[in-house]
Amino acid sequence: MTLPTASLSRYLSSLVILVFLAACTAPQSSASFAGAAGSNMQTGQARQDQIARGRFVVITHDCGGCHGGGSNPAANGWLDGVHDTINDVFRIGPFVTRPKNLTPDNATGMGRITERQIFNALRYGLRPEETPDVDITSATPGQGNFPLHPHYLAIPMPWPAWRQMQEQDLWAIAAYLKQGVKPSRNRVQDSDGPPDFWASEYTVAKIGPDPSAPYPTAKEKGGPEK
Amino acid sequence: MARRCTLLALLTFSGSLVAQSPPRATRGAAAIPARATSSPKAESSNPPILVNTSRLPNTVEVSITAAIATLSLQPGVTSEVFAYNGSVPGPTLDVREGDHVIVHFRNNLPEPTTVHWHGIHLPFESDGSPFHPIKPGETHDYEFTVRPGTAGTYWYHPHPDHRTGFAIGKGLFGGIVVRAANDPLPPMADKLIILSDNRFLKDGMIDFPDPMSHHGGVDEENGREGPVLFVNGHVMPTISIRSGETQRWRIVNGSAGRIYRIALPGRSLIQVGSDGGLFEKPVAVKDIVLATGERVEILVRGTDPPGTKTTLQNLPYDRYAPQTRPTDWNTTLDLLTLQTTDEPPMTPVAIPAMLRKIIPLDTTKSTAVRTIVFSQGLINGKTMDMARVDVSSTVGATEIWEIENIVGMDHPFHLHGFQFQVLDRDGVPEPYRAWKDMLNIPKHTSARIIVRYDDYPGKWMFHCHILDHEDHGMMGVLEVK
């Protein structure tokens, strides 16, 4: 797999930010987040807090870096997918990934995708339009509602790292995308991915176990005092 | 060959007489017409017709057995198939509006099955849906009365839970022709053309790959297609036409996943009907996209000089998502040869400008608007659950369904039990009225239909008619109380 330099650096910077934030932001999670599946049912102030938290996580995790608007929620094209399909796409070998419209537009965005499907996409890497809207309790195909034939998000969507985030933050992202962003109509051409739905990339050997091995691993130093 | 000619002539004869309300006695094996000798040679035959064993008026009583058979579908090799009464496609159910139909069905297959009378308005118990499986060795009588005004082309096929694609791929499908009491079209040769495709292993066995294999995954995503195209179970047959002659072709897409785009090069097709029978007026079209399960009726004119031939083609049609689009999708394929006979040209028959009146369903009567979202393998984010009711309504209600396809692959919508009318597609009003039970929803588009549940309470399926999608749960339940 090869990425063009520009895309690669953007991808890597996303990952760096991600890893940094995964370590730094988790402790800030508010106690008002239920955290469990179905936390999208919150109402009132708790719901507003959840959406605000989701906005923070979306901005700090650079979702707009690929999906539009950079880190500026006031920017034109905020999260509504690529517009420049020549320069702002990822060319990976013979394949092309075109970051999608994440706004809740029914026809061109995620208006018909539920918060739970978004959660499952971030938590398990499952394409929301191909994965049932159900609670998933296992990462093993065929078990715990995990699809027997999983269809994964296209590379370079960095869900293998995103999945390590606290679940309430993933729910907060879903809440923000569905309730905190205005729908914007922008039809993004479908990505041209391989017929194995990227599944071969997402073996445990390549993306690591979930959850990660306990700290410190053999590659790390420090850790809890003994 | 002699038998073929007789059968063809019989069909032609029977079809010719329909417009003149023939007495019942002319139907059946006794009707060997004088026209047998004038049948063109090398004619592609219609499938056999189910023999009506009833002596009662307006009653059609037939027997169908589904069983394993060994047939030669391609030259030189045999294939183990599932067949209705030993043939692929199965024999045609040929009935008239108003007929009371009784089908004595026997399941001699090694697995449960049903017979779904695709497009026919009938009682829930006779719909052959997954709610009423027939176990191996069991029999079941399907019974329904063909409603007046529903003359058209339909088909029957299995509809067992999770196994429809396999069962149809193994060979279980047959045509249904409902003839009108007063057919507005003049007498002419009446051809039933059932399209199917299949994929075979070298030894002739039908190729159903391991679902966990790469091939199985592609089949699951696309719907299983095969490189061998069949017309009534034959590869590239010939249909003869006399110069100046007009023929009525009833075309059924019996494929599991393939959507056809049919055309006769260099000429327009005169489409006169769709799933639920004739249009109001004939429509000239360049080509016709025929989704899985969908039917069209077209008039084909012998406009070529005697002794020449042309080809009914399947033009490329991109229904696929990029991930699994076949590399050869952009290839034109031949379906059958249309041979103009050496006979001198005949005077063309006149085609009426008006075929019938289709009364539009009244949108102001609609009591509910349903949103049906198709994504890949899902309807409204869910997979099929037989214990769940997805849409609940009452007999007599009129509803509008908005069907949205939010993914990059076509999904043909099918509703059991009730014919509907298309209001618009992507906001563009439907140019002409038709009764439909199939509607292709192309990638990233939407359509609105209107339907009235004018009879028959029950639990009716609605689903994607790409059979692999249906079998993997792209199906819902409409309960009409």
Q: Quick check: B121 and B205 in contact, CB under 8 A?
A: no
B31 compared with B90, residue with greater pLDDT: B90
User: Measured between CA atoms, how close is A133 to chain B, in angstroms?
Assistant: 5
Question: How far is CA B155 from each of CA A111, B62, B213, B251, B375, rounded to the nearest angstrom?
Answer: 37, 15, 32, 10, 27
Q: A191 and B383 in contact by Cβ < 8 A?
A: no
Question: Is residue B13 pLDDT above 60, yes or no?
Answer: no
Give one DSSP letter per residue of B205-270, joined into a string.
-B----TTSHHHHHHHHH----SEEEETTEES-EEEE-TT-EEEEEEEE--SSPPEEEE-TTS-EE
Banded model confidence at residue B45, pLDDT cuts 50, 70, 90: confident
Our CA angle for B180, B259, B82, nearest 5°, is 75
Q: Quick check: B379 and B477 in contact, CB under 8 A?
A: no
Q: Chain A interface, mutation test: which of B406, B469, B474, B475, most A Cβ atoms within 10 Å?
A: B406
Question: Is residue B218 pLDDT above 80, yes or no?
Answer: yes
Banded model confidence at residue B31, pLDDT cuts 50, 70, 90: very low
Q: What is the pLDDT of residue A195?
A: 73
Question: Is residue B369 pLDDT above 70, yes or no?
Answer: yes
Question: Is residue B89 pLDDT above 70, yes or no?
Answer: yes
Banded model confidence at residue B19, pLDDT cuts 50, 70, 90: very low
Q: A129 and B322 in contact by Cβ < 8 A?
A: no
Q: How far, in Å, CA of B44 to CA of A79, rounded? A: 57
B396 compared with B43, residue with greater pLDDT: B396
Chain A contact for B404 (CB, 8 A cutoff): yes
Q: A197 and B408 in contact by Cβ < 8 A?
A: no
User: Measured between CA atoms, how close is A106 to chain B, in angstroms?
Assistant: 8
User: Measured between CA atoms, how close is A95 to chain B, in angstroms?
Assistant: 9
Q: What is the pLDDT of residue B43?
A: 61
Banded model confidence at residue A33, pLDDT cuts 50, 70, 90: very low
Chain A contact for B402 (CB, 8 A cutoff): no
Helix (H, G, I), strand (E, B) or coil at B1: coil
Chain A contact for B218 (CB, 8 A cutoff): yes
Mean pLDDT of chain B: 91
Banded model confidence at residue A40, pLDDT cuts 50, 70, 90: low
What confidence tens digit (pLDDT) does each residue in A152-200 have?
999 899 999 999 999 999 999 999 999 999 999 999 999 998 876 677 7
Our CA angle for A23, A27, A30, nearest 5°, is 140
Question: Is residue A204 pLDDT above 90, yes or no?
Answer: no
Q: What is the pLDDT of residue B87?
A: 97
Question: Which whole number is the average pLDDT over B39-57?
Answer: 80
Laid out side by side, the sheet with B398-405 consists of: B378-379, B366-375, B398-405, B446-452, B420-425, B428-429
Contacts of the segment B280-285: beta carbons below 8 A, 24+ positions apart: B280/B354, B280/B355, B280/B356, B280/B357, B280/B358, B280/B432, B280/B433, B281/B353, B281/B354, B281/B355, B281/B432, B282/B351, B282/B353, B282/B355, B283/B432
Q: What is the pLDDT of residue A96?
A: 94
Q: A149 and B217 in contact by Cβ < 8 A?
A: yes
Banded model confidence at residue A141, pLDDT cuts 50, 70, 90: confident
The closest CB to that of A191, out of B211, B214, B322, belongs to: B322
Residues 113-132, chain B: which have Cβ within 8 Å of A? none
Q: B444 and A107 in contact by Cβ < 8 A?
A: yes
Q: What is the pLDDT of residue B440?
A: 98
Q: How far, in Å, CA of B468 to CA of B412, rounded? A: 12
pTM: 0.88
Strand-strand pairing, B238-241 and B333-340: parallel
Q: B373 and A112 in contact by Cβ < 8 A?
A: yes
A218 compared with B27, residue with greater pLDDT: A218
Q: A190 and B375 in contact by Cβ < 8 A?
A: no
Question: Which whole number is the average pLDDT over A53-74?
Answer: 97
Mean pLDDT of chain A: 83
Q: What is the pLDDT of residue B10?
A: 34
What would the 3-class secondary structure string for B332-386 be?
CEEEEEEEECCCCCCCCCCCCCCCCCCCCCCHHHEEEEEEEEEECCEECCECCCC
Chain B contact for A88 (CB, 8 A cutoff): no
Chain B contact for A190 (CB, 8 A cutoff): yes
User: Measured between CA atoms, how close is A173 to chain B, in angstroms?
Assistant: 19
Q: B217 and A196 in contact by Cβ < 8 A?
A: yes
Banded model confidence at residue A226, pLDDT cuts 50, 70, 90: low
Question: Which whole number is the average pLDDT over B256-284?
Answer: 97
User: Which burial class, exposed, middle or buried, applies to A216 when counting CB atoms under 10 A from its CB (0-12, 13-18, 19+)?
Assistant: exposed
Any residues with CB less than 8 A from the CB of B49 and at least 6 apart, and which? B7, B10, B11, B91, B92, B94
Chain B residue with the nearest C-alpha to that of A127:
B376
Chain A contact for B373 (CB, 8 A cutoff): yes
Cβ–Cβ pairs < 8 A, chains A and B: 61
B183 compared with A140, residue with greater pLDDT: B183
